[in-house]
Amino acid sequence: MILNLVEKLILLSLDNDNGKFISHGPLFNTTIAGATIAELIIRKKIRLSEKLLKVSNTKPTHDKVLDYALEKIYKSNKEHSISHWIVKFSNSAQKSIDIYVQNFIDKKILIKKESKVLWVFNTTNFPTKNSQTEDLLRLELNNIIIRGNNEISIENKLIIGLISVCDLNNEVYGKSNSKERRKRIKGIINSDDFVKQIIDEIEYAYTTFVVVITTVIT
């Protein structure tokens, strides 16, 4: 099964046994938004020109999340930066997550499990039913980071950066956070200007969000 960047990130962020999201909240939502934009760029639907995102191809991808983002960018009255669209799409990130999770349920990769917390509060989790797709992804990424495979596709460079920025490194590669491993991850991100820009824009968008929220609270 071929997954896009957002789908990969969602699968990797779910605990296979209890079905809870390991990464969640504003940082994860911001990363989901950044992954959506990155996916549209590598599919040549949008491009970066003079620091602004511009639409290159309006033909539908037949993916609800990607087509929603593409339409919003195309119909905008004004061209904006990557960070602007990351902030905007982070507001609808939970809807994107819900769409992809339902797709995984339909394809029998995940199951939906309803339960209660403290016998009072309802909660919904998504344990893994068939881990084959995720197992292959994890193996591929671990071969790159741990075993040092040097031929890395742009998709893998991006997902490695996305995993790092939303703090999923331990979940994907194990808890041995060695200096060598951290150095390799950083080196992969910095080796490609496009990948580094996406990660920098996600971090900038998240920092902007935190500053706004802190200002409102204080």
* pLDDT at position 71: 97
Task: Tell me the per-residue pLDDT of 2-48, one tens digit each, with 9 for 90 and over.
Answer: 999 999 999 999 999 999 999 889 999 999 999 999 999 999 999 99
pLDDT of amino acid 203:
95
pLDDT at 185 over 90: yes
Q: What is the CATH number of the domain that holds 60?
A: 1.10.3630.10
- pLDDT tens digits, 43-60: 999 999 988 999 999 999
Count other Cβ atoms within 10 Å, centred on residue 98.
11
What's the mean per-residue pLDDT of the chain?
91
Location of structure tokens 């920092």: 207
Determine contact, residues 34/198, Cβ cutoff 8 Å. Answer: yes
Whether the per-residue pLDDT at 213 is higher than 80: the answer is no
Q: What is the pTM of this model?
A: 0.92
Angle at 183 between CA 13 and CA 178, to 5 degrees: 70
Q: Given a cut of 80, is residue 150 above it in pLDDT?
A: no
- For the chain, how many structural domains are there in total? 1
Domain range holding 84?
A: 5-217
